[in-house]
Structure 1
């Protein structure tokens, strides 16, 4: 059975990212470091896939990741080309964004969440080697990204390439997902877990307080504080995770919403920022400033409404990419599987990626900051 607690974490992360991008409230990044949580969940899933399928899991993961991006590119790239984006070979990065794909003046902000797919691609490609190292040298492998980030932040490794900066910032969360999948976090005794969490949270919190960014105490402006604070959060959220959370489905409506956002997480993430940008002029037209709670609530509701419409239109691409029957609204009741098909699937074993994406009833990873080198500076969350 699918662990609904992990579904709940992903649901909360997606909602938190969208709300943060509308409101710009820096406190949300401290209360719930959503992007690190999403990378940790993705790392756990990737480790499980590699364990079951070996290196072929990399191709399967890319197959599930890229089609939703291609839908976004099919809509926005022609629009950007018509509004001044030069047609160069770099446009091909919209097919496989191992580096930031080009964008024009309006597309750079509306499509800024692409940084997440870029980092996700790097981490997926690195996962077979990283998992091999993790299984043999778990602790050194786990702390390596944090040591890299310390070296960068303290000037020991100045002018580090952007790829290494991203590995230092988020690959530690991805590796914590490895540790979760291996059961290491769950087996940590409280006498080890609690002091570790307190040290990480204290160090990260102190660094954040001592180095406020342009938006105050926003994790997105503070890579080292972000990594340490997020590590402490993940250790608690996954290290003491319940084995399940059946209560999520006690309310049929809430359970369905959690399922929909999990099955359409990529579509929601890729499209929501465009609607945040499109609705921004409402601030000037009707005066919905960030100090107006009612106006902010209406803007959040409008963004979710618009995202819901586009998700209904193109979200089925995630089903096709995962080799599932396409659904307009995921999580509905399915007809029973014929006995002959059930026996055939039991003999050959379930596809781990399809099983991980299945609903719970079936058996089996912000804001508008100043742009720096990575898109995460615009939409990290």
Structure 2
């Protein structure tokens, strides 16, 4: 049985990212460090996949990740080539973005979320070795990204490669996902977990206050504060995660929304910024500034409506990539299986799942 609490957490992270990009409110990054939470959840899933399939999990994760990107590239890259993007071999990075793929002036804004896929790819590629190290030296492995980021921020390691900086910033959250999957966070007593989280939050908060960025206290501009503050958030959010969250499905609309956002998380993430950029001129035409709450609310609704349209058009690609039956809108309630047939399927082993094992849909059984 899938832990719906983790689904709710991921759905909230996706919504927070979209709302932040529309409003630009820095406070949202402090209230809910969504990107680190998404990396932690992804790290937990990756560890589960490696436990089950070994290094083959890397290829399977790529298979699930890249097709949605290729659809975006098939639409936007020709448009950028027609509007000034030079045709160079670097364009091939849109097929496998281990570095930032090239973009023109408007594409760089509309497709800026590609950095998440770049980091995700690197973290997936590093995961077999990282998990091997984590199992043998859990605490040193977990601390390594934070030490790397500290060395960068203090100038001990100046001018690092961009990917190394990202490992320092977000790979710690990915490794906390490893710890969550292994049950290490849940086994921490409150006498350990709460003080550690408070210390991380205090140190991270002090660094944030002392090092405001160009947008004030926006975590995206303060890497070390971001990493520490996010680590404290993840320790509590995952370390005290309930074993189940049946309440998530008591309201059919909310439960369906959580399912859709989880099954279409990549599509929503890849496309939403293009609509945010496209609607930005409304600020000048209609006069909806960031202080106009009604205007912001309307823009948020419009972005989600447009994302909903494109998700209906292309979201099924995530189903195909995950080897699920394609659905226009995920989460449709299936008719109950007759008892006799269910018993036969159970005897055949089709309905049996080992706790912690993922099914064909890529969902983790956390019983």
TM-score, normalized by the shorter chain, greater than 0.5 = yes
> In the TM superposition, what whole-angstrom CA distance separates every residue of 1:298-351 from its partner, at most 9, and x where no partner exists?
000000000000000000000000000000000002355666666253589898
Over the aligned positions, Cα root-mean-square deviation in angstroms equals 1.8
TM-score (norm 2): 0.95
**Out of 342, 347, 350, which is 1:345 matched to?**
350
8 Å CA contact 1:2–1:356 kept in 2: the answer is no
**Out of 338, 360, 367, which is 1:354 matched to?**
360
Whole-angstrom distance in 1 between the partners of 2:105 and 2:359:
37
What are the within-5 Å matches in structure 2 for residues 327-342 of structure 1? Answer: 327-335=327-335
What are the within-5 Å matches in structure 2 for residues 273-352 of structure 1? Answer: 273-335=273-335, 343=348, 345=350, 352=358
8 Å CA contact 2:43–2:178 kept in 1: the answer is yes
Measured after TM superposition, the shift of residue 122 of structure 1 is: 0.2
338-347 or 249-258: bigger deviation: 338-347
In the alignment, structure 1 residue 243 sits paired with structure 2 residue 272: no
Measured after TM superposition, the shift of residue 354 of structure 1 is: 2.9
Aligned twin of 1:370? none
8 Å CA contact 1:355–1:363 kept in 2: the answer is no
Structure 2: which 5+ residue stretches go unaligned?
Answer: none
58-67 or 328-337: bigger deviation: 328-337
Greater RCO, CA 8 A, separation 6+: 1
Aligned twin of 1:100? 100
Aligned twin of 2:114? 114
Whole-angstrom distance in 2 between the partners of 1:144 and 1:306:
41
Whole-angstrom distance in 1 between the partners of 2:326 and 2:242:
31
Whole-angstrom distance in 1 between the partners of 2:61 and 2:253:
30
In the alignment, structure 1 residue 13 sits paired with structure 2 residue 18: no
> In the TM superposition, what whole-angstrom CA distance separates every residue of 1:148-202 from its partner, at most 9, and x where no partner exists?
0000000111111111100000000000000000000000011111111111000
How many residue pairs get aligned? The number is: 361
Aligned CA distance change for structure 1 residues 363 and 179 (closer, same or farther; 3 Å) = closer
8 Å CA contact 2:219–2:226 kept in 1: the answer is yes
Measured after TM superposition, the shift of residue 107 of structure 1 is: 0.1
Aligned CA distance change for structure 1 residues 192 and 347 (closer, same or farther; 3 Å) = closer
TM-score (norm 1): 0.92
Whole-angstrom distance in 2 between the partners of 1:30 and 1:247:
26
Aligned twin of 1:147? 147
Aligned twin of 2:54? 54
> In the TM superposition, what whole-angstrom CA distance separates every residue of 1:7-46 from its partner, at most 9, and x where no partner exists?
0000000000000000000000000000000000000000
Aligned twin of 1:63? 63
Aligned twin of 2:27? 27
Whole-angstrom distance in 2 between the partners of 1:80 and 1:110:
11
Aligned twin of 1:372? none
Aligned twin of 1:174? 174
Whole-angstrom distance in 1 between the partners of 2:131 and 2:297:
43
Structure 1: which 5+ residue stretches go unaligned?
Answer: 365-381
Aligned CA distance change for structure 1 residues 323 and 180 (closer, same or farther; 3 Å) = same
In the alignment, structure 1 residue 262 sits paired with structure 2 residue 262: yes
Measured after TM superposition, the shift of residue 213 of structure 1 is: 0.5
Aligned CA distance change for structure 1 residues 170 and 114 (closer, same or farther; 3 Å) = same
Aligned twin of 2:123? 123
Measured after TM superposition, the shift of residue 216 of structure 1 is: 0.3
328-337 or 23-32: bigger deviation: 328-337
8 Å CA contact 1:322–1:353 kept in 2: the answer is no
SS of the aligned residue for 1:324 comes to coil
Whole-angstrom distance in 2 between the partners of 1:24 and 1:157:
31
